[in-house]
Amino acid sequence: HPDLLTEADLLTLAESLRDQGVETWALQIYRRPPGLKLVTLPTVGDDYPSAETMARFRALFKTFIFRPAQ
């Protein structure tokens, strides 16, 4: 969730994983758990992460898997 991890945080994490030899990385965007009555985080927009950041992720890893919020 962007309130917890900024795009800069995600890029730092991705670069660290790549530097450690990780070839496959999956990023799943926050999804509100079904049945959760107390909403603590707002819905994540389609613009997170940005197209530029997504391109960087694809360049960093042999396999990059993206699971959007839906």
| pLDDT (tens digit per residue) in 28-41 | 999 887 887 787 88
Q: Mean pLDDT across the chain, nearest whole number? A: 94
Name the most confidently modeled range: 39-43, 45-49, 50-54. Answer: 50-54
Percent of the chain beyond pLDDT 90?
77
Q: Which of 12, 8, 44, 9 is nearest to 28 (CA)?
A: 44
**Other beta carbons within 10 Å of 57:** 19
Averaged pLDDT, 37-46: 84
Single pTM value for the model: 0.86
State the Rg of the chain over Cα: 13
Say how far apart CA 44 and CA 24 lie, in whole Å: 24
